[in-house]
Chain A
């Protein structure tokens, strides 16, 4: 199974909003509301930002939001801050009970 498709990079200025897409198929993203998003700073373990498409774990700022339309999920970061600069990964549950990650998107705060 191929990885979910994410843009390699995204950028925005402080205070702006940026959206990162995650495209799969009807066998994964489109078929289940089990899309998660993770933030990873260099040398650190990933951190869960969004689960089940749009739910935020306790402690995650509401500047982070998730959505899904068809086979594409999206993570939007509003009010960009310097500390948001990191790699972001999406993941989805799949038809064969597996998990699939996206290739990752490097978010740069200009």
Chain B
């Protein structure tokens, strides 16, 4: 069965960096777009970024552009999100998710991992 397991979250100070990882299993990872989507405490869903199956197409939300970098290693069935210049309003549960073309129709989600940015 499809499994997505995030790791790397935690507490970081404003201006700091953090790298999230997502281990995928149960499907042919290299066939799918992958996305990061976040949810601030008590708030709605916010799309962060997606990456095409080959890694050649990448898009970011304006709120994270220039600060976050999405990448994937198809040999390791892994997705990553490098986050830098973190701000208090980046505090959220971050979900790794499998998507259809263009990040749409996200059909499998990880359990989510909490990133807290606080001094």
Contact = CB atoms under 8 A, between A and B. Distances in A.
B32 interface: no
A101 B103 contact: no
A110 interface: no
A69 interface: no
A36 B99 CA distance: 11
Contacts of A52: 104-105
Given A45-B110, A45-B111, A98-B59, A89 B104 contact: no
Which residue among A40, A93, A99 has the maximum number of chain B CB atoms within 10 Å of its CB?
A99
Contact of B47 (A45, A47, A100, A104): A100
Contacts, number: 63
Contacts of B45: 38, 40, 46, 89, 91, 101, 104
A103 interface: yes
Contact of B103 (A46, A47, A99): A99
**Size band of the interface chain B makes with A:** 20 to 34
Contacts of B69: none
B89 interface: no
B102 A97 contact: yes
A108 B116 CA distance: 30
A6 B28 CA distance: 35
Contacts of B95: 45-46
7 shortest A-B CB distances, which residue pairs?
Answer: A51-B105, A99-B47, A45-B109, A104-B44, A34-B104, A101-B45, A48-B107
14 contacts: A46-B95, A46-B109, A51-B104, A55-B105, A57-B107, A89-B45, A91-B104, A93-B103, A98-B61, A99-B103, A99-B104, A101-B46, A101-B47, A102-B44
